[in-house]
Amino acid sequence: MMARPFQIHLSVHAARALSVFVYAALLLGNLGVAAGVPEPPLAALAVALLKLSGLLGAVLLFVSSYGQLSQKAERELDEREVAVRNRAYVLTHQIMVAALLGAFLWVTLATKLGWWLPGASGTADLITAFAMGSMALPAAILAWRDRPLSDD
C-alpha cells in the first residue's frame, strides 16, 4: 500500500485568488523589507506580516492539489495531464529567466546610474522571494490554466 502525499485541495477559484495574493505579498513584502522597513512600528509590522503571509501562501500553493500535480511522476498522469504539467514547467522557466534577466538589467543600470540597490540583507530577502515564487509558480500556472473537461 502506497502512502498518499499530503495535499490541500483548493478549488480553482481559491487557488487563483491565492496565487494573486502570494505574488503581490512576496513582491510588496520582500521589496518593502529590501527598501528599508518604514519607521513607524505599525508599518514595519504590516510589511513583515505581508512578507510572512506571502511565504506561507507559496508553501500552501506548493502543497495544494495543483502543486502536487506538478510533482507527480509521469506514470501517474494521463497524457493530457502530462502535457499540461509540462507546459506549466516551460512557462515557469520562461517567467523565472525573464525575472532574472530583469534583475540583472536593474543591477547593471543601477550601478552605472546611481539608482537604488538593496543591501546584503535586502538582497537575501529578494532571493528568498524569488525562490519561493518559483517553487509555487507551476501550481499557480496550473490553476490559471485549469479548464473543466468537456462532455463532448
Taking a C-beta distance cutoff of 8 angstroms, is the pair 67, 10 a contact? no
What is the pLDDT, as a whole number, of residue 1? 54
Kindly give the confidence (pLDDT) of every residue in the chain, 152 residues in length, as a single tens digit, with 9 standing for 90 and above.
556 667 789 999 999 999 999 999 999 998 888 887 667 888 888 888 999 999 999 999 999 999 999 888 899 999 999 999 999 999 999 999 999 999 999 999 999 999 999 988 889 989 999 999 999 999 999 999 997 655 44
Tell me if 6 is assigned to some domain: no
What is the pLDDT, as a whole number, of residue 91? 97
What is the pLDDT, as a whole number, of residue 48? 87
Tell me if 1 is assigned to some domain: no
Tell me if 29 is assigned to some domain: yes
Tell me if 107 is assigned to some domain: yes
Tell me if 112 is assigned to some domain: yes
Tell me if 150 is assigned to some domain: no
Domains contained in the chain, number: 1
List the grid coordinates of 73.
511522476
Taking a C-beta distance cutoff of 8 angstroms, is the pair 58, 136 a contact? yes
What is the pLDDT, as a whole number, of residue 5? 65
Helix extents (H) in the chain: 12-35, 41-63, 65-71, 79-113, 120-145
Domain range holding 132? 12-71+79-145
